[in-house]
Amino acid sequence: MESDAYYVWREAGFTIDILRDGDIDCEEMEIGDSIITLPNGDRYSALLVTREEISRTMNRHVLSGESLGGSYYCAPDLIVIRSQGVTAMINVIRDIVESDRISSLLPRISDDGALDVPSM
């Protein structure tokens, strides 16, 4: 299921809204800024990124000077994925939800929109 800005997937255990990356085919996306909603209404934030995309971003930061000249890459909701595409992203989130680890791995989005980052 798709909307203009988001690729939306719904199943019994969760709904995921993945921000589309312009005109890139959804199965070729290497970064998925996502909101996961559980049946009880709890929402979580996840940034699903391939290793290759992280490398490209860090190389860009060498040129721009960001992140100490590309020395690091961090995000509070980061999940590094092996394969590109929304199918891979959905499978990863399904595993996290089904293993009941979402609240310990990903930041919960509070009612005011702030991220409540879990302590690890």
Query: CB 99: neighbour CB atoms within 10 A?
Result: 10
Task: Give residue-wise pLDDT tens across range 35-77.
Answer: 999 999 999 999 999 999 999 999 999 999 999 999 999 999 9
Q: Could you give the C-alpha distances from 50 to 30, 75, 82, 111, 118, in angstroms and in order?
A: 5, 13, 6, 29, 22
Q: Which two tokens stand for residue 68?
A: 């100490």
Residue-level pLDDT at 3: 58
Domain range annotation of the chain: 6-108
Cβ proximity of 80 and 16 under 8 Å: no
